Structure 1
């Protein structure tokens, strides 16, 4: 069996360092925030090329607080995409604002900058692009529109740790960048965790209060906040894993290149290579009109796959209140029907990549 993801192998490769870090945190009794979290904030912000990092308890919390810190609230609109995990949109509604969708570029599957101007209104407060699957969105035109219209740009970089746009790491391109450290992410905690990075000191100060019940200092509640603090153990784990992230990314990129080579002439669409983006391949998603047939064929060969995401957010029953219907975002909807994610993790190896590619070829050759 070829797994879609293998977290155990990665853990065993760094087990001694992880256990030492966890034991040290337990011994320190700094279980919420504390030294390891503070150090990780500095280290990860520096890794992204940002000045400040504010650690929280999930990527969803990172998005929620970034929106609030930017002043987004009731009556505001936030332009984003439906080709994403539901948390992107949920966070906008948590802030009291209204999500407004634009369709995506068919090659990158990220926000199409050419569609933004058409949906802007006097109520638009922010643009929230998603770096889907670790592929950077085309940020320069997005930022140009935002600067011209006085809008905040909040990056959803939950899947894009270390991804680069024109030589700069994502998350530090807009006003605020939001990351998830869910266990399956390229940089994953051993539980839930997230972070917001920014160069804006006022945003950082507000974020630190928002995550800790709105406290300026203990029992001094300046604003209404939340219990969104990162646990000390997760900070310790993530500090260890951050030291390996570049090597893990290099491995992902190696396997992606092999997939691209062996599937080059196959009747599937492989992830786009852009002149301005360096993907970190959180997911290696191919596209085929025969996606469901291909999925079943790979299952029969004991190859695990995934679909990211089978129903776009604008067509989810929970978000019917937004008033979108089938056909409103045709590219997003077509991607949802055609996308299949192949196994992708740093420890995957040449033999398994070749086996998966051969199975894709065989499945499509018979029908």
Structure 2
């Protein structure tokens, strides 16, 4: 298939490279000329294990190309993946300006049937706004071309994204257009030969599924961290408790590790966005609000322990911080708990030596 991927960040680049790996001809579009320069020279703008090799292999095979030419990119693929960022606004809602700009570019340049696929994490109702944006551009051109809008959220884990894409646990497709569904089934059939993992549903349910999944995982992390605090108070070993509850198949072991709180580009942003959506409907998600509050507190727990041991004045003391990114095997420093720890220690006068095997450059940048 001929595919266009709009955006060469984490979601877009992994999507484009992995689809090319299965024999598709993919053009990745980005308006950032510096990103495209790096990609054209054989590099990648992010750290993700295994991704560089996939990109280089498919560039060499001419199945994967990069461009800043909007018209050429739009006219290349029947399938148009939107994989741009949706950063949080000040009120917690997702900023859809990049998504809608991408949709308008498709409407401005398309000349035949297109399937426009939201790969980015977007709130419920975004597909309707994408539909309207494309239709508006077509109307301005005096054209009545057919197109479909599909929600196909990514469920990639940073540090394991290539493996997650190539061997998906499930593929969610939200679509109301049967022609689009058939194309999506054909696209993903090589990824699900052993077992049909494609879940077809309506668009709004697909959009909601991504937020619900991340909110559920964030809840497990915050709840486990609170259990760890209580275990410490009563003299229980939280690692043994983890094994005791994780062995229950109704619970399982995933996301049951106590730590300094969750961070990264997904959980904090998506929890805020879901809370914003709920407030707009007049419904308060009390549990999710508590999850967010517990996570913010957890980022300060280590500092509180240090202050309890050494006092509030840490001048003359040096602390080592091992690991800076929000999780291993990534350079993503967004919402990383280490940032809170370092800031609070430095504010109290401490000297700090920090190291991360992957994220040093990004840590220095932020």
Q: Specify the structure having the higher radius of gyration (Cα).
A: 2
TM-score range, shorter chain: 0.3 to 0.5
Q: Which structure exhibits the higher relative contact order, with contacts defined as CA atoms closer than 8 Å and separated by 6 or more residues?
A: 1
Structure holding more helix per residue = 2
